[in-house]
């Protein structure tokens, strides 16, 4: 129930936009078909990836792949949010989650949040030349497997450490080739391949360092 004097309209504070762009649902497909959203505007969060659940307010492994509007400047702040003016540059054509979001009543967002969400398979037609590459990358860089390797490597498992370095190297190389040989915009890689292994490991407190003697993993708190 609203308290006397309490407003129920949007205060344009930008809090929701700073916490991250919306997850896309099937009703948002028109935004992509009509080029309101480009694939370079999107990021894939893959199944098993540790992510923030804005409804439950917890970090947890994703039960399924989701597509989000990506963040800017190495943050989760939505790329369509203008900080200085507290405005959304696509407000009139904003995605479904943005339209139902109400700071004063989370029920509509809660009801739709995990329903009818889209994945890369919904956006890439059967026979798309990158589907095979995506499947191979997903198999070799499975987020759940990476989490287990990182935990083992932190506990001085030499084989896990070596395997993790190999997977990071593979991920870096496949991204480089996708741009240099495949002609993909670098900004589209987070959609096609998901976030880099380096980004996923950073969320686990693992930093990748490149030096004269090769790659080194640095574990926070160790």
Residue 51: predicted pLDDT: 84
Residue by residue, pLDDT tens for the chain (222 residues) are: 344 444 456 677 888 899 889 999 999 999 999 999 999 999 999 999 988 777 777 788 999 999 999 999 888 899 999 988 889 999 999 999 999 988 888 899 889 989 999 999 999 999 999 999 999 999 999 999 999 999 999 999 999 999 999 999 999 999 999 999 999 999 999 999 999 999 999 989 999 999 888 999 999 987
Whole-number Å distance between alpha carbons of 90 and 77: 14
In this prediction the pTM is 0.90
| Contact between residue 207 and residue 215 where contact means Cβ atoms under 8 Å apart | no
Q: Where are the domains of the chain?
A: 15-122, 124-219
Strand partners, 208: 217
| Contact between residue 25 and residue 116 where contact means Cβ atoms under 8 Å apart | yes
Report residue 59: phi and psi, to 5°: -95, 130
Report residue 46 as tokens: 């893959």
DSSP state of 221: T
Whole-number Å distance between alpha carbons of 86 and 109: 21
């Amino acid at each position: 129930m609203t308290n006397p004097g309490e407003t129920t309209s949007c205060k344009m504070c930008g809090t929701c936009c700073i916490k991250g762009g919306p997850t896309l649902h099937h009703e948002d497909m028109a935004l992509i078909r009509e080029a309101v959203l480009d694939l370079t505007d999107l990021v894939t969060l893959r199944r098993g990836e540790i992510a923030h659940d804005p409804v439950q307010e917890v970090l947890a492994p994703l039960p399924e792949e989701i597509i989000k509007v990506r963040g800017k400047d190495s943050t989760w702040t939505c790329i369509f949010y203008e900080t200085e003016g507290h405005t959304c540059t696509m407000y009139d054509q904003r995605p479904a989650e943005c339209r139902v979001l109400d700071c004063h009543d989370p029920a509509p967002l809660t009801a739709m949040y995990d329903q009818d969400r889209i994945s890369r398979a919904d956006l890439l037609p059967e026979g798309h030349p990158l589907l095979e590459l995506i499947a191979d990358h997903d198999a070799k860089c499975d987020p759940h497997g990476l989490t287990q390797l990182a935990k083992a490597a932190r506990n001085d498992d030499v084989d896990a450490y070596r395997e993790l370095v190999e997977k990071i190297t593979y991920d870096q190389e496949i991204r480089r080739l996708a741009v240099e040989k495949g002609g993909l915009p670098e900004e589209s890689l987070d959609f096609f391949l998901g976030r880099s292994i380096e980004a996923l490991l950073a969320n686990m407190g693992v930093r990748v360092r490149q030096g004269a003697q090769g790659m080194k993993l640095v574990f926070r708190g160790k």
